[in-house]
Amino acid sequence: MAIVGVKFKEDGKIYNFHSDISLSIDDKVIVETERGEQLGIVVDIIDDEGSSKDLKPVNRIATKDDYEKYLNNIADAKTALIETRKIIKKANINMNIISADYSLDKKHLLFNFVSDERVDFRDLVKDLAAKYHARIELHQIGVRDKAKEIGGIGLCGRMLCCNSCLKDINTVNINMVKNQNIALNPTKINGACGRLLCCFTYENNVYEENRGLLPKLKEKVNYKGKMCEVVELDILNKKYTVKVDENTKEVVSLDD
């Protein structure tokens, strides 16, 4: 028995399942989920060390018919997305549908949406269930999740991390920005989603560790027998600058 990592979308999250079937990377498999059977692609395989008992199973390797059904479902979900957006616009409901996904048997249709306020969509669910003859689920997501679904180019000129390399979206707070001595300019510190850039989390632990070794700005330190004020910090290089007198500044390295 093995634990396999499965993706349902190319840029999606990896979910773990247990498998009694011999599988290889890139195999298409049918797995059991909360929404019924789904087709996914194996992206990781690890040995089972007894931690798979709470995982749902891989039911079987996907057949050609399964894959054709999967592709047809994608096309039908795109059509449902377009039609549902028209219904929402006509009903003047304050919500923006981002994506639509069918379960493999088409008995379940999931819509992800964003909204600035709480939305009463009970009547909408009834209308959609009657139209698509499926169990309808409307799931409200945040603006970070919206960026992950849509994708785009970041300030760095590369594909958005949330859409390309990040498996999970971590919490980012303003203290991470301050730790890295970055000016609090919204156009520089916010991403395409309008929230703080995810990349502030990448080196934050290094900044926090190095900051703990350095004195604070404007702190008085004993330098060569004289009390001097700290006027600048170079956190990554573990250096700081002290003002010796009105015309003299010197750089102190913790590594010296």
Within this chain, do residues 77 and 113 fall inside the same structural domain, yes or no? yes
State which residues form the domain around 171. 145-202
How many domains, in total, are found in the chain?
4
Cα of 236 vs its chain's centroid, Å: 26
- Helix (H), strand (E) counts: the chain: 7, 12
pLDDT digits (tens, 9 = 90+) for 133-149: 999 999 888 777 777 77
Within this chain, do residues 235 and 172 fall inside the same structural domain, yes or no? no
Closest C-alpha to 256, from 224, 229, 227: 224
pLDDT of residue 183: 86
Which segments of the chain are extended strands (E)? 2-7, 14-19, 28-33, 36-47, 58-61, 96-102, 108-114, 135-140, 220-223, 226-234, 239-245, 248-253
Q: Is 153 inside any structural domain? A: yes
Within this chain, do residues 155 and 196 fall inside the same structural domain, yes or no? yes
Q: Is 207 inside any structural domain? A: no
Within this chain, do residues 79 and 135 fall inside the same structural domain, yes or no? yes
pLDDT higher than threshold 70 for residue 158: yes
Q: Is 209 inside any structural domain? A: no
Edge-to-edge strands of the sheet including 2-7?
Answer: 14-19, 2-7, 36-47, 28-33, 58-61
Within this chain, do residues 155 and 125 fall inside the same structural domain, yes or no? no
Asked whether 56 and 37 are in contact (CB, 8 A), the reply is no
pLDDT of residue 256: 66
Rounded to an integer, the average pLDDT of 4-16 is 84
pLDDT higher than threshold 90 for residue 170: no
Q: Is 195 inside any structural domain? A: yes
pLDDT of residue 80: 96
Q: Residue 213: what residue type?
A: L
Neighbouring-strand partners of residue 252: 240
Which segments of 153-245 are extended strands (E)? 220-223, 226-234, 239-245
Which segments of 84-225 are extended strands (E)? 96-102, 108-114, 135-140, 220-223
pLDDT higher than threshold 70 for residue 234: yes
pLDDT of residue 86: 94
Domain end among 108, 123, 141: 141
Say how far apart CA 66 and CA 53 lie, in whole Å.
27
Q: Is 46 inside any structural domain? A: yes
What is the overall mean pLDDT for the chain? 88
Q: Which band of pLDDT confidence, cut at 50, 70 and 90, is reported for residue 52?
A: low
Domain end among 179, 202, 225: 202
Within this chain, do residues 73 and 132 fall inside the same structural domain, yes or no? yes
Within this chain, do residues 136 and 79 fall inside the same structural domain, yes or no? yes
Q: Is 56 inside any structural domain? A: yes
Q: Which band of pLDDT confidence, cut at 50, 70 and 90, is reported for residue 51?
A: low
DSSP state of 225: T
Q: Is 15 inside any structural domain? A: yes
Domain end among 36, 62, 88: 62
Q: Is 86 inside any structural domain? A: yes
Rounded to an integer, the average pLDDT of 81-87 is 95
Residue located via tokens 């500044």? 249
Within this chain, do residues 53 and 75 fall inside the same structural domain, yes or no? no
Asked whether 21 and 60 are in contact (CB, 8 A), the reply is yes
